[in-house]
Amino acid sequence: QIQVVESGGGAVQAGGSLRLSCQASGMIFAGYHVAWFRQTPGKEREGVSCASWSRGTPDYADSVKGRFTISRDNAQNTSYLQMNSLKSEDTAMYYCAAGFTSNFLCPLAVNEYRHWGQGTQVTVSS
């Protein structure tokens, strides 16, 4: 059974940092794209960052470029999202997702990911 579990969320002041972790099991993690999404009440889930199975250049939403860094450790079936210089608008529920496409580039689209975690809340106070 494939499972994806996020951790590391919490409350932080603006300008602070958090590192989210995503632990996957039941899959050959190295063969999957992994992505982070976020969602606030009443809004659609949006892509934040993704890392390809092909180890190509990660992709980032414009709103987080230069502040967030995605990484993956295939030996540990884990992905991380390092979030620096956090802003109040980064407040959201953050979700990790894993999915496979044959494309070398990872997509930042919700419908491309089949396996999702339950989310971890990030709250940034100004």
Question: pLDDT tens for residues 1-12?
Answer: 999 999 999 999
Q: 46: which 2 tokens?
A: 């949006």
Which of 91, 93, 88, 68 has its CA nearest to residue 80? 68
> Residue 33 in contact with residue 8, Cβ under 8 Å?
no
Q: What is the pLDDT of residue 56?
A: 81
- pLDDT at position 102 is 87
Share of the chain above pLDDT 70, in %: 100
Cβ neighbors of 122 (< 8 A, separation 6 or more) are 9, 10, 12, 18, 20, 38, 83, 86, 90, 91, 92, 93, 94
What is d(CA 86, CA 4) in angstroms, rounded to the nearest whole number? 24
Asked whether residue 101 carries a pLDDT value surpassing 90, the answer given is no
* Cα dihedral sign, 23-25-30-36: negative
Distance CA 77, CA 5 (A): 11
* Angle value at C-alpha 15, between 123 and 106, nearest 5 degrees: 70
Q: Residue 30: left (phi > 0), alpha (psi -120 to 50), or beta?
A: alpha
